[in-house]
Chain A
Amino acid sequence: MALQSLDITRRSATTTPPPGQRETLEVVKLIDVSKCIGCKACQVACMEWNDTRDVVGTNHGVLDNPPDLTENSWTVMRYSEVETERGLEWLIRKDGCMHCGDPGCLKACPAPGAIVQYSNGIVDFHEENCIGCGYCITGCPFDIPRLSKKDGKVYKCTLCSDRVAAGLEPACVKTCPTGAIVFGSREDMLGHADERIEDLKSRGYAKAGLYDGTGVGGTHVMYVLQHADRPELYNGLAKDPSISPMVALWKGIAKPLASYAVALGILGAIIHYVTKGPNEVSEENENEFKDEQ
């Protein structure tokens, strides 16, 4: 193992257990939307640490810049102006990979080892194994991975797996000036979220709550939302994220079923040939055209 602190629980397109003897601490990045001031320092820190540079875009009337995630921008601030019972609210959500417990990207990936899930919960793309088919984009319930036009590989947030392996927090967490992004063990983060939700409730956000993606096996990036009953307010955050039944069918039951069915058919043909014999011209017809031989 290159990095012992990054033992693997799941490995794409692999049917045998990946190396996972060691039990590492499960981590969570908690994003408190109510504390975010939309400064985009996390976007900058992300590019800084990961050595990516997005192109300078154009003003398209809103603060979202770039307007969407790209192969260079692994995190993007989404600004939503919404009317709630409290009047006009400005909800700013830091978008990026949620590091699902049951990752749709990993399920869909056909390249062995191109996507792995470490035992600490981080879902990481190993681009050197990526074949560029884009199945992960098809499988992702959050529309996160982006295909690079430069090298035909797919990129997304790594939760700074390289930093975490060395005992550091992700770059976005390190830089956040308001403490809206925090990082630590799952247990600690859940405790911190509880405190934050209690505080928000005392300030009149009756529906404040935690967004942790139970439908995708629990995410390792979680949000504290002021309006947890309406996640769609936050730039269309999925209410009940789950792997699409289409993807489950395609990469679940269909894969082995189709393979066995075809194998069984071939076996059947061999058995048929050796039990029934070939379909040959009858003696009668052979005799009729004896002159032909």
Chain B
Amino acid sequence: MSSKMNNDPKKLLRYTPSERANHWLTAMCFILTALTGLSLYHPFFYPLSLWFGGGVWTRILHPFFGAAIVLFFGVMYARFRQHNVMNEADWEWVRRARELVNSDDRNMPEAGKFNGGQKLVFWLTAACILLLLLSGIVIWRVYFSFLFPIGLIRFAAVIHAISATLLIALIAFHIYAAVWTKESLSAMVYGRVRRAWAKQHHPLWFRRMTGEGK
């Protein structure tokens, strides 16, 4: 795709350059945190620690990668929060999601900039990251664990493992949804989408952007 096409004024701007940079920085930190975290979670994944310079480096780096996620996602959260407020149509969208998954979108309620599924992923991701942050501080042995009683450290270890599993599942789902819905990945990479795409997947947003049907 040439840059000329990307700047085509007939296309709709979905994500600004700074939003895109923000998203991909968060994504990179997620990959690094997930790989280091998995290698500490199950012996099956321990060899992943070799990519980071061994077990000790993996242990040192993991919490800092996690802190970077909190930072970058925090900015993203502030940016996208208003766009992700769930309304009645969004809940209806979620209830009918099974139909869409079966390739039948005839009865899907019209989505705005984000559909109900995307909004739900947004809030669940935020909740998981908050839990990971709080539990992560408690089990960060070198700097913080001595501040907490052993019972809380054990509880935090369980919460950290559960919320990490949930987050990895959520992001796997998020990635698949982006691959499955053609052209949505390029929206996050290049920023602009075709009007046909916008009308197909986000009709309410399409009308708001084009002034059509008001």
Contact = CB atoms under 8 A, between A and B. Distances in A.
Interface in A265-293: 265-266, 269, 272-273, 276-282, 285-286, 288-289, 291-292
B153 interface: yes
A133 B140 CA distance: 8
Interface stretch (A31-39, A50-58, A75-83, A245-253): A245-253
B147 interface: no
Nearest to B179: A273
Contacts of B127: none
B199 interface: yes
Contacts of B44: 15, 259
Please report whether the interface of chain B is mostly helix, strand, loop or mixed according to DSSP: helix
Interface of A: 13-15, 110-112, 129, 131-135, 137-138, 143, 147, 152, 244, 246-247, 249-250, 254-256, 258-259, 261-262, 265-266, 269, 272-273, 276-282, 285-286, 288-289, 291-292
Contacts of B173: 265, 269
Given A244-B154, A286-B196, A13 B46 contact: yes
Interface of B: 8, 10-11, 39-46, 54-56, 58-59, 100-103, 105, 139, 141-142, 145, 150-151, 153-155, 157-158, 161-162, 165, 168-169, 172-173, 176, 179-183, 194-197, 199-201
Given A258-B165, A281-B196, A285-B199, A110 B40 contact: yes
B40 A281 contact: no
The list of the 7 closest CB pairs from A to B, nearest first, reads A134-B141, A131-B55, A246-B154, A258-B165, A289-B196, A13-B43, A269-B176
B37 to A, nearest CB: 10
30 contacts: A14-B43, A110-B46, A129-B55, A131-B55, A131-B56, A132-B56, A133-B141, A134-B141, A134-B142, A138-B150, A147-B141, A152-B56, A246-B154, A246-B155, A247-B157, A250-B157, A255-B42, A258-B162, A262-B169, A262-B172, A269-B172, A272-B180, A273-B176, A273-B180, A277-B103, A278-B181, A280-B182, A281-B183, A285-B197, A292-B11
Given A269-B176, A289-B196, 12 more contacts: A110-B39, A132-B142, A138-B153, A138-B154, A138-B157, A152-B142, A247-B154, A249-B158, A254-B162, A262-B169, A269-B180, A272-B180
A132 B103 contact: no
A285 B200 contact: yes
